[in-house]
Structure 1
Amino acid sequence: MASTLSPEEIERLAQRRAGAKLGWYTHAVVYVLVNLFIFAISRYGFGSRPWSVYPLLGWGLGLVLHGVAVFVLGSDGGLRERLVQQERERLQRQRQNQ
């Protein structure tokens, strides 16, 4: 697929993918810092039960789904690329049959 893209399209795609990955890394750092703070409050502050596990798990699921979207569905040769290529080929066949 990359061989059919112009240099400008390749640059735009590279910029978008790099931005998506940087967004995930930022998300992961914020997740760790905020959950460390929440853990400290839970452990040494309010309440007798370790309630910090609930936001940790909920937000962790969101972080995992964000990672799947960025690194699995959005990367070269990933599921998204294959689906886009299949759809492109299907549309080209439909167009030729008209």
Structure 2
Amino acid sequence: MDHQSQAYMKAKEKVERLKDFYSHLIVYGLVNTLLFVINMVTNPDYWWFLYALGGWGIGIIIHGLSIKDNHFLGAKWEEKKIKEYMEKDRDNDSQ
């Protein structure tokens, strides 16, 4: 595979990860809006929807950080971890 094809594939993977994140963000917004409305209709004195909003929000933040190559849980981190595990397996197999 030539350099241009590799660059295209990398760019395509990044776009797919970004698209997945945006889809996740849209679902987060829609579901939590619905939960807010249900909460206000059923029991406006107790804001239970905040538990879902906060818990899922943490997941959204982690997902957002993971789509960057140079951030927490990004592609470079994955590649580094894969190499690390392969080296450990190779060392264990050689003993």
Q: What is the TM-score with the length of structure 2 in the denominator?
A: 0.69
The offset of 1:36, in angstroms, is: 0.2
Among all aligned residue pairs of Structure 1 and Structure 2, give the percentage whose two residues are the same amino acid: 25
State the secondary structure of the residue aligned to 1:29: helix
* Residues 25/82 of structure 1: CA separation in 2 closer, same or farther (3 Å cut): closer
Matched, 1:61 2:67: no
Q: Which residue pairs with 1:95 in the alignment?
A: none
Q: Which residue pairs with 1:96 in the alignment?
A: none
The offset of 1:70, in angstroms, is: 0.5
Aligned length: 78
Distance in 1 between the 2:77 and 2:65 partners?
15
**Could you say which structure has the greater relative contact order, defined with CA pairs below 8 angstroms and 6 or more residues apart?**
1
- Residues 31-73 of structure 1 show CA distances to partners (whole Å, capped at 9, x for unaligned) of 00000000011111257411000000000000000000013xx
Gaps of 5+ in 1: 88-98
Matched, 1:44 2:33: no
State the secondary structure of the residue aligned to 1:49: coil
Q: CA RMSD in A?
A: 2.5
Which aligned runs of 4 or more in structure 1 are off by greater than 4 angstroms? 79-85
Q: Which residue pairs with 1:18 in the alignment?
A: 15
Distance in 2 between the 1:24 and 1:17 partners?
11
